[in-house]
Amino acid sequence: MIKRRRYTDDGEPIPFPTLAEAEEDLLYNLNFLTVGNKIPNVTGLRLDGFEETIEAFEGEAVLLDFWATWCGPCIRSIPKMVELDESLPDAEFEILSISVDEEIETVTGFQENTPMDWANWHVGPQGELLQTWAVRGYPTYILVDHAGTIVARQHDLNKDFMALIKDTACGPTGGESC
């Protein structure tokens, strides 16, 4: 097996994790980030510079969207997320987009022309959240229900996943507010 060396933007090699660190990350993923488990409470930096915890979305279904301005599939999915945001009631559903762009200004500048009128965090390309949540590709979507349980995790907003999001937010019968 060939190990692929990763580098920082400055060209410095990123050290490989120790076996203990890799084991710790794996156990964390198995215990907290697999379908059927409660999502751990984490803190992120909103685009306005303030910190926010995932508990701020308690009681709502949440679609976590790990994305970047340089990611073509991420950008192509924005109209589908706008559709979700507009079609589902605010009291039942929230999108939380988590940018991995290098600079927060890149994201705020992008959103001047492409509004994303829902919750947004910035963690950067080396954010601890990416490592501990094993985000390996973009976009990555994690769907969480009203009780904070992970319902699904995938990389595409296909028709079946869109239906699952709506069912998670409103129930299979659509509910009164949907």
pTM of the full structure: 0.81
Does 56 reside within a domain?
yes
Does 140 reside within a domain?
yes
pLDDT at position 94 is: 96
Does 52 reside within a domain?
yes
Q: For residues 96 and 39, what is the distance between their CA atoms, to the nearest angstrom?
A: 14
Does 9 reside within a domain?
no
Peptide bond into 89 cis (omega under 30): no
pLDDT at position 136 is: 83
Mean pLDDT split into 10-residue runs, the chain, 178 residues: 56 70 63 75 90 93 96 96 94 95 95 94 86 84 94 94 94 64
Does 3 reside within a domain?
no
Does 166 reside within a domain?
yes
Determine the structural domain holding residue 126 and report its residue range.
48-147+158-172
Host H or E run for residue 119:
strand 119-122
Does 139 reside within a domain?
yes
Give the CATH number for residue 131.
Answer: 3.40.30.10
Q: How many domains does the chain have?
A: 1
